[in-house]
Amino acid sequence: MSLLSLPRSFFSLSLSSPSHAITSRRNRCFSCSLSVSKTSNATSPAILWFKQDLRLDDHPGLLQASKFPALLPLYVFDHRILSRYNDEKLELVLFALEDLRKSLKKQGSNLIIRFGNAENVIKELVLEVKATNVFAEVEVEYHLREIIHAVEETLVRMPSFDRSPEIVLWQTPFYDIKNLKDFPASYDEFEKLQLAVTSPLLPSRLPSAEMELDWGLLPTFDNLKKFVNESPSKLNESWALLKEMSSETILQKQLSKSGKVSLNNSNFKHTKRKRLDKSVFVTQKQNVVGGGTNSVLNALAAYLRYLEGTARDDWQEVHEKLRTAEIRDGASFFALFGPALCLGIISRRRVYYESIKYEKERNAGFLSPFGYSTATVSASADTVCSMEWYFLRLLKSQLSDGGAYPIRIWRWNGYLIQYTVVGNRGPAVLLVHGFGAFLEHFRDNISSISNDGNRVWAVTVLGFGKSEKPNVVYTELMWAELVRDFIIEVVGEPVHLMGNSIGGYFVALVAYFWPALAQSVVLINSAGDIIPAYTSPQFTKVRATSGATWLGARLLLFYLRLGLGSIVKNCYPTKTERVDDWLINEMLRASYDPGVLVVLESIFSFNLSLALNYLLEGFEGKVLIIQGMKDPITDSKSKVAMLKEHCPGVVIRELDAGHCPHDEKPEEVNSIISQWILTIESRVLSQACS
């Protein structure tokens, strides 16, 4: 696998996981220069494999591939990729590909359209045209990295070649970073480097595609949906319906049945209107920006110039959508442009360049050291810089094999989420951490529970640890839906749900809203109250931010950084030595991440009014409570007494521990959990046989 980057030394580490490396090729390819043509047949064509880089503008891979005498751009409708897209994203793909093909044809080229597994399609095309190089963008998401690895292995094993065709990975370098190994782990250390953002590339001049080929037809949306629905990666129909059932919708129905007022939904509301001729909102829902690169650039120009006003209908529409999507300061940018960025219709670097260009236009060519002059410039520039930071840090995590368990990346609603999985047999178990923690907080649980014959997943939810911390409104319902989607998309089967602290409340919500996903529920010093005689939802959804929450989050962050060690040790009353330097340093590191203040603001708007005893109804015999009785955050004796009185069928284990028994006394908790899973699974098996 060759690596293409600017500068050359950026990818001095392998971008494949170590277990996927092919040693004889890796040693040769990772030292190759930017100019891949030196190791290639000068008369052989190259293939440019588009995935989530659907543009010609600012495309380093296209620049290098265009140096070959012939270039064949390719898009593969691969069900393993498309099955992760919702209908709106599938529409965006089709619009972007239509524009991409038109742009290529203007330069005398074209876009090959194929259906199937990427490795099989690329193998057939390589054999047909005798290509020696396949260019593809670097990916951080696990399922895409696996597909790239499958392509690489297929090319290595191809017969009838003097030298195996080579896959050349490229990336758009946002910053001029010399070596990814030296990329700082902490954002405050990264800021000290004061790295400048590099300039975007203009579209390359392409060699003509004068070859007799079946270029393929773009499918209609209906045909594409049929292809996705017929694929082996398609979700079970009942599970697909679960993804469409939002927690809010379920609560609305419950409130309607009880005759109570519906939820006050302050989220992004979608309104339909007659489509404009030049609208940049191309999908049926008309909620997000789409089309080709020029369409997205037009929408970006309108977004940035919101304060100027306009007589243009298409720009007025952008301004109207901006106002609707601005559920908190700056949140409208990703809400409108996020899907286009994730599909690579426009690069993060181009967005930054256009934003700064406009800022300089407003200020006679100068940039103020005190911040941007408009909220829209701030929203766009800050968003893409934050996205790049998390991408690079998570990419670096994919290059190391020194951890106790493999780190994988999943994209949820456009955001990058860190997770791990250990074990290849037995029941599925999912661990969900508490507020301020991360999957590594289960450092001494994951492998032990797996060794007892289970497959164990642990996820760092949005806003924590090394997962992305975007500018969104964080709610317990949002986190519950993330856990739901993780089970459906990543695990793929019902799980034994286990959560600590607020993570326990998240898994209780999942069990209540989507019970088909839970085999059992284990709550470890869970958040949430026991409310006697609670019979119906009493829930309001008001999440407006205020000056008080803004100030409160900043004071809380200052307090946490100042005394984090003593605060955490207070939660480990019987084994304070478990609060080691690694745990404190990782929590401190995360506290400097971009977006952390937005997450902390959510503390002041948490709504835990859905009682635990109500959420756990219907799970009699399938709920285990592990309660540290020396928890400094809650009155454990009173809570256990309430659980016994108002939660029939719940099994309770009281431990001599604090708020985090799973990390304070992991051996004891692991034994309890493993025995619990064995009991539940035996019961399920006996019921199936009866």
Task: Specify the CATH number for the domain of residue 622.
Answer: 3.40.50.1820
HEC assignment per residue over 457-485? EEEECCCCCCCCCCCCCCCHHHHHHHHHH
Q: Do 521 and 612 belong to one domain?
A: yes
Q: Do 674 and 529 belong to one domain?
A: yes
The reply to whether 451 falls in a domain is yes
What tokens does 163 get?
A: 């030298």
Residue 238's pLDDT is what? 75
User: Cα–Cα distance between 276 and 314 in angstroms, integer?
Assistant: 7
Percent of the chain at pLDDT exceeding 90: 72
Please provide the DSSP assignment of 122-170 as one string. Answer: HHHHHHHHT--EEEEE---SHHHHHHHHHHHHHHHT-SS-SS--EEEEE
Q: Do 377 and 297 belong to one domain?
A: yes
Computed on alpha carbons and rounded to an integer, the radius of gyration of the chain in Å comes to: 26
- Residue 435 has phi, psi (to 5 degrees) of -65, 130
Residue 457's beta-bridge partner residues? 421, 430
Q: Do 515 and 642 belong to one domain?
A: yes
C-beta of residue 326 within 8 angstroms of C-beta of residue 545: no
Tally Cβ neighbours within 10 Å of residue 209. Answer: 20
Q: Do 319 and 379 belong to one domain?
A: yes
Residue 14's pLDDT is what? 36
C-beta of residue 521 within 8 angstroms of C-beta of residue 495: no
* Residues comprising the chain, all counted: 690
The reply to whether 497 falls in a domain is yes
Residue 605's pLDDT is what? 83
pTM of the prediction?
0.91
CATH number of the domain within which 127 lies: 3.40.50.620
Q: Which of 400, 417, 437 marks a domain boundary? A: 400
Q: Count H helices and E strands in the chain, helices first.
A: 25, 14
Tally Cβ neighbours within 10 Å of residue 325. Answer: 19
What average pLDDT does the segment 285-294 reach? 95
Domain coverage including residue 289: 187-200+278-400
Q: Do 297 and 365 belong to one domain?
A: yes
The reply to whether 15 falls in a domain is no
Residue 268's pLDDT is what? 43
Q: List pLDDT tens digits, range 150-167.
A: 999 999 888 766 677 899
pLDDT of residue 661 exceeding 80, the answer is: yes
The reply to whether 660 falls in a domain is yes
**Out of 69-78, 313-322, 396-405, 464-473, which region has the weakest mean confidence (pLDDT)?**
396-405
Say if residue 628 is exposed, middle or buried (CB neighbours under 10 Å; 0-12, 13-18, 19+): buried
User: Cα–Cα distance between 322 and 474 in angstroms, integer?
Assistant: 20
Residue 624's beta-bridge partner residues? 522, 651
Assign 425 to helix, strand or coil.
Answer: coil
Nearby residues of 43 by Cβ (< 8 Å), 6 or more positions away: 69
How sure is the predictor about 13, in pLDDT bands with cuts at 50, 70 and 90?
very low
The reply to whether 307 falls in a domain is yes
The reply to whether 287 falls in a domain is yes
What average pLDDT does the segment 112-120 reach? 97
Helix, strand, coil percentages in the chain from 3-state DSSP, rounded to 5: 45, 10, 40
The reply to whether 98 falls in a domain is yes
What tokens does 668 get?
A: 């004891």
What tokens does 371 get?
A: 């911040």
Mean pLDDT of the chain: 88
The domain total for the chain is: 3
Residue 524's beta-bridge partner residues? 500, 626
Q: Which residue is associated with the tokens 């989507």?
A: 514
Q: Do 332 and 477 belong to one domain?
A: no
Residue 11's pLDDT is what? 37
Q: Do 357 and 332 belong to one domain?
A: yes
Q: Do 478 and 348 belong to one domain?
A: no
Residue 689's pLDDT is what? 74
**Dihedral sign of CA atoms 261, 262, 267, 269 in order:** negative
Higher pLDDT, 206 or 659: 659
Strands 112-115 and 408-412: what pairing? Answer: unpaired
What average pLDDT does the segment 432-446 reach? 96
Q: Which of 382, 400, 418 marks a domain boundary? A: 400
Q: List pLDDT tens digits, range 529-546.
A: 999 988 777 666 556 677
Amino acid at 507: V
User: Cα–Cα distance between 57 and 626 in angstroms, integer?
Assistant: 55
How sure is the predictor about 405, in pLDDT bands with cuts at 50, 70 and 90?
confident
Q: Do 522 and 624 belong to one domain?
A: yes
pLDDT of residue 23 exceeding 80, the answer is: no
Q: Do 340 and 411 belong to one domain?
A: no
Assign 267 to helix, strand or coil.
Answer: coil
pLDDT of residue 74 exceeding 80, the answer is: yes
User: Cα–Cα distance between 399 and 1 in angstroms, integer?
Assistant: 14
The reply to whether 574 falls in a domain is no
Q: Which of 339, 365, 400 marks a domain boundary? A: 400
Strands 71-77 and 112-115: what pairing? Answer: parallel
Q: List pLDDT tens digits, range 557-600.
A: 999 999 999 999 999 999 999 999 999 999 999 999 999 999 99
Q: Could you report how far apart the first and last alpha carbons of the chain are, in Å?
A: 54
pLDDT of residue 34 exceeding 50, the answer is: no
Q: Do 424 and 342 belong to one domain?
A: no
